[in-house]
Chains A and B, each alone.
Chain A
Amino acid sequence: MSCANVIKKERTSVINPLVTCQPMGAMYAVTGIRRGLPLVHGAQGCSTFVRYAFARHFREPSEIAVTSLHEDAAVFGGRRNLISGIGNLAMRFKPSLIGAISTCSSEIIGDDMDGFIKVAKKEMKERMGEEEAEKVKIVPISTPSFVETHFKGYDNAIKALVDNLARDPGESNDKVNIIPGIVSPGDIREIKHILALMGIEGLFLTDISDPFDSPLRPSATEMKPFYPKGGTTVEEICDTSNSLGTISLCGYAGSGAVSLEKKYDVPAAVGPIPIGVQNTDQFLRNLKKFTGLEIPDAILDERGLLIDSMADIASRYLFGRKVAVFGDPAISSGIARFVSELGMIPSVVCTGVESPEFVEEMKKVAKESDEPVDVLIRSDLRDLETHLQENPVDLMIGHSDGRLFAKSLDIPLIRVGFPVYDRVGYHRVPVVGYNGGVNLMDRITNTVFEKCYDDNEYWKLQQ
């Protein structure tokens, strides 16, 4: 019987979380802006921990400023820290945008970020002159750490960007807005590749692909200060109200899309993430709906290549094997659906958030795969570990934080998502789109070879 058994964590505490707090998602989003700088209004750890996490996942620098809140701010408020922080950052870095990101501390002490930013702007004009000061946009992003998770922080950031910057609509720009969610540079590049084949210009909200995977070319670096290549320009964000539609790849990142739809009649499509065959099909149908363009043969050929490789491999090596999927709710649900398309059984899917949409999607997967799926929501890796001790699987698919559990349970782990720090290059290799499907399926299959054939039945791999 196929059904989704929803299981919630029984513990109050969290042991090995699958999520982090809101500000990190906002820092991720702001990094995707050309000359955009996140300014975290909190203690130094709030920026340092995240910079560390980004650096070890992407092996790239991550430039995040902080207002350095200390005891005095805890008592008297962080007004001075935020105002002078904005001023110093604007004067020294000449950014196009500062995303002022709140934290638990600044939310608890009740700092009036909007009010402080007004004063900061005034001071900037005095320090830099009106013209220079006007060039620096400042967007307040509210991300209380004790509410929801980094996915919400990402969503809040994108919504804050369009709400503050999108201008009254004029002529259509014939573009499609894409809100990628917390995906990899490789994923964004794959989406760009699909759009290019379709003949569509995309407008990414926001685009971390180059900033978090940028070339080492010292002499080509633009004048100091160092800003990585690429990213979405502020002008583009202002222009999002003129687009044909907005597609949010990840279900949790739809607020900005909905806001553009409500305010400016830019139609929105939120999720599902284009991982696997049917989800990617849906993405293409959305593109077709917004632009009226036909799906070109080149894309259908790519689809055909994925289908071809599935036909060659899936039933022989993958069919009926049990998989545990964990991590990001959007990526996990996409992968769960894809592995069931491969004939595998996504017998447990685990995520750190509580999301009705996620449960709905898992019900669909359970129905399609005609197998029961245990859905662990608002959960953590310890729960997954104990679940897997009772209900073993053949493979785990998720990020590096699951590596020690995978090792002790002796289940191979296929690394996908964020963070992946104990393998290299996975941020460059897409999992979205038909090409991403081929990559992911190859990775899964090769892991099955190593686990199930290499030691004892290696002769079976000769054809």
Chain B
Amino acid sequence: MPYKLFEVDKEIPDREKHVYVKDSADPVEHIPKCNTTTIPGCMTERGCSFAGIRGVIGGAIKDVVHIVHAPVGCTTNSSGSKRYPTSPDLPNGDKVPVENFNLKYCMGTDLKESDVVFGGMKKLRQSILEAAKEFPFVGAIYTYATCTTGLIGDDMDAVAKQLSEELGKDVVAFNVPGFSGPTQSKGHHEGNITFFNRLVGTKEPPETTPYDVNLIGEYNIDGDNWILEPYLKEIGINILSRFTGDSSHDEICWMHRAKLSLVRCQRSANYIADLIEEKYGIPYIKVDFFGPKYCAENLMAVAKYFGLEENAKKLIERKMKEIQPELDFYKEKLQGKKVWMFSGGPKNWHFPEPLKEELGMETVAVSTMFEHEDGYEKIKARVGEETVIIDDPNSLEFEEILEVYKPDIILSGVKEKYKAHKFGVPGILIHSYENGPYIGFEGFLNLARDIYAAIYSPVWNMIEFEEELEESEEEVIE
């Protein structure tokens, strides 16, 4: 039986289809049921589609005021929850005058009861005008719908269109209320479409080169971008547009002028790469820079497209030489340790192989919050036999997984980390990272170091109070 019903799920048997135990003899289509709504009354780790567009994609852009059209909570909650730093540099040589502007300020329309009754468009309009006045230096103003906007039926596009003309600056409305779609993934998807329809092709870059790429689906978590960009630069490749880590608004508008798109997060950003290819004929390649082996392979693939293989080869050789000794140390320490990998989506198929190959670690369980069929197929292809793959695990399953699969560490988000600790299992952050960046060659060392530090922290040996010490232990202490 490829599917598994956890003990704790006997009251909600529908969960059986969401839990798959890998067996290579199974037909390919055997994967967990996914991208469906969470069963009510569960403690899910999922966010909403508003979180997907505001939190993941839109909010990373540095020279934009982000206005949440909602009662105050959605504004408060959606700020400071992502770690995507920005540099002040803009493509035209200017600088954003406020350091980490997108992280420092969050804005909202603060909808009240009367707005719910009479509509919130007036307030939205007013708020956009206030944003333009308060932060005159910004390149654009983005506004985000929420459950309330969706339910009261505000026509945000109309307001955005009118004010774009009035202010002479792009005002963009993202219409993805929190309740739309089963997960935050819906927000990524709709966000991609809005970015494409509304912005791509509306501006021209100051200059172009024959080596221009769009770096898509890279959000600069903990500075990932700042590891990748120097690699590409050294090879001779120029990043014309970033989508959207450390990006400026204008870069999105000229994505149609690149020669190639590279898609890093293949869950949240395939859509825009597809649309750009379809309309402008710009091909894309899916890339994976997690772990030295994938990083090397993919840098070579990108370099090959431009005929720059020699440069890539040199870079890879140098980097591998730099990291190998430390990598060997971590491999010796982490050999045989068991991992539960719990990310939003793609990191679950990025990491099992590098963890096995480079560090000797075994992935015993994989779970995701918002993965779709294509992602689960990749996960299935890359994990070992009998690995359990769980779609949208809930809180009780969490406890059962720890008990049954006995991982030595969980790679997850902050909510799960602290719960794992209560069961005596170390956890590190894979969404926003512990001490990242985690991408590329030196980034993988950061990950290895964080895993090592978590597993080897002396605290895990002291959990139980021992009434009497074993003799051999006493000797050690003496």
Please name all residues of chain A whose beta carbon is closer than 8 Å to the beta carbon of B179 when the two chains form the complex: 43, 69-71, 73-74, 105
Q: Is A81 an interface residue (CB 8 A)?
A: yes
A58-73 contact mask (Cβ, 8 Å, vs B): 1 or 0: 0111111111111101
Considering the chains assembled together, what is the distance between the CA atoms of A105 and B107 in angstroms? Answer: 21
> Which segment of B32-40, B87-95, B446-454 sits at the interface?
B32-40
Contact A225 B48 (CB under 8 A): no
B151 and A108 contacting across the interface, CB-CB below 8 Å: yes
Q: How far is the CB of A231 from chain B (nearest CB, A)?
A: 15
The residue of chain B having its C-beta at the shortest distance from the C-beta of A146 within the complex is B71
Q: At the interface, yes or no: B201 with Cβ under 8 Å from chain A?
A: no
Contacts of B127 in A (CB 8 A): 12-13
Among candidates A14, A81, A226, residue contacting B110 with C-beta atoms closer than 8 Å: A14
**In contact, A12 and B151 (Cβ under 8 angstroms):** no
Q: Which residues of B contact A70 (CB under 8 A)?
A: 37, 179-182
Q: Determine whether the beta carbon of B126 is less than 8 Å from that of A49.
A: no
Known: A13-B110, A42-B147. A56 touches B414 (CB 8 A): yes
Q: Determine, out of B78-86, B328-336, B379-387, the stretch whose residues face the partner at the interface.
A: B78-86
Which chain A residue shows the least CB distance to B181?
A70
From B235-243, B266-274, B277-285, B419-427, give the one contacting chain A: B419-427
Contact flags (1/0) for A385-429 with B, using CB distance below 8 Å?
000000000000000010011001000000000000000000000
Closest B residue to A405 by CB, please name it: B104
Q: Mark B57-81, 1 if CB is under 8 A from A, else 0.
A: 0000000000100111111111111
Asked if A221 is at the interface (CB within 8 A of a chain B CB), the reply is yes
Among A210-218, A312-320, A329-337, A434-442, the one that faces the other chain is A210-218
The A-contacting residues of B in range 121-163, CB under 8 angstroms, are: 123, 126-127, 130-131, 134, 146-148, 150-152
Residues from chain A with Cβ under 8 Å of B422 in the complex: 61, 214, 216, 218, 221, 226, 228
Decide if A53 touches B77 in the complex (CB within 8 Å).
yes
Complex CA distance for A33 and B8, rounded to whole angstroms? 23
- Given known contacts A20-B77, A56-B414, A219-B464, is B41 in contact with A67 (CB within 8 Å)? yes
* Interface size bracket, B side: 35 or more
* Residues in B whose Cβ lies below 8 Å from that of A24: 73
Question: How far is the CB of A225 from the nearest CB of chain B, in Å?
Answer: 6
B463 touches A217 (CB 8 A): yes
CB distance from B71 to the nearest CB of A (A): 4
Q: Across the interface, which residues of A come within 8 angstroms of B105, CB to CB?
A: 15-16, 382
Residue of A whose beta carbon sits closest to that of B54: A45
Of B111-119, B206-214, B434-442, B470-478, which stretch is located at the interface?
A: B111-119
Q: Mark A195-232, 1 if CB is under 8 A from B, else 0.
A: 00000000000000000001011110100111010000
Does A50 lie at the interface of the complex (its beta carbon under 8 Å from any beta carbon of B)?
yes
Instruction: Given A56-B414, A146-B111, A225-B395, check contact A16 B106 (CB 8 Å).
Output: yes
Residue numbers in B under 8 Å from A56 (CB-CB): 414
Q: Of the candidates A81, A82, A109, A228, which one forms a contact with B151 in the assembled complex, judged by CB atoms under 8 Å apart?
A: A109
**Given A49-B78, A49-B81: A62 and B107 within 8 A (CB)?**
no
Q: How far is the CA of A93 from the CA of B99 in the complex (A)?
A: 46
A280 within 8 A of B: no
- A87 adjacent to chain B (CB < 8 Å): yes
Cross-chain contact of A65 among B41, B112, B146, B184 (Cβ < 8 A): B41
Closest chain B residue to A87, Cβ basis: B41
- Closest approach, in angstroms, between the C-beta of A55 and any C-beta of chain B? 5
Q: Is B167 an interface residue (CB 8 A)?
A: no
Q: Determine how close the nearest CB of chain A comes to the CB of B86; give it in whole angstroms.
A: 13
Q: Are B48 and A146 in contact (CB under 8 A)?
A: no
The answer, among B108, B147, B463, for a CB contact under 8 Å with A43, is B147
Chain B residue nearest in CB terms to A147 = B113
| Cα–Cα distance between A44 and B55 once the two chains are bound (Å) | 14
A65, A66, A146, A218: which contacts B113 (Cβ < 8 A)?
A146
User: Which B residues lie within 8 Å of A71 (CB)?
Assistant: 179-180
- Do A50 and B77 touch across chains, with their CB atoms under 8 A apart? yes
Smallest CB–CB gap between A124 and chain B, Å? 11
Interface 0/1 of A82-98, CB less than 8 Å to B: 10111111011100000
Beyond A20-B77, A146-B113, whether A86 also contacts B41 by CB under 8 A is yes
For window 1-43 of A, CB contacts with B under 8 Å fall at: 11-17, 19-24, 39, 42-43
**B412 CB to closest chain A CB, in angstroms?**
11
Are B78 and A61 within 8 A (Cβ)? no
- A144–B113 CB distance below 8 A: yes
Confirm or deny: A46 has a beta carbon within 8 angstroms of a beta carbon on chain B.
yes
Contacts of A19 in B (CB 8 A): 72, 76
What is the distance, in angstroms, from B153's C-beta to the closest C-beta of chain A? 11
29 contacts between A and B (CB under 8 A): A12-B109, A13-B127, A14-B110, A19-B76, A20-B73, A20-B76, A20-B77, A21-B74, A43-B50, A44-B44, A46-B73, A49-B47, A51-B415, A61-B415, A66-B40, A66-B43, A74-B151, A81-B40, A88-B40, A89-B41, A103-B147, A104-B71, A146-B111, A146-B115, A216-B421, A216-B463, A218-B423, A226-B419, A382-B134
Apart from A17-B108, A219-B464, A404-B103, what are 7 other A-B pairs with CB-CB below 8 Å? A19-B72, A43-B48, A43-B177, A74-B151, A88-B42, A104-B151, A226-B422
| 9 A-B pairs closest in CB distance | A21-B73, A45-B48, A85-B40, A88-B41, A85-B41, A49-B77, A13-B127, A61-B419, A43-B178
A residues neighboring B (CB under 8 Å) = 11-17, 19-24, 39, 42-53, 55-56, 59-71, 73-74, 80-82, 84-89, 91-93, 103-105, 108-109, 127, 144-147, 149-150, 214, 216-219, 221, 224-226, 228, 352, 382, 401, 404-405, 408
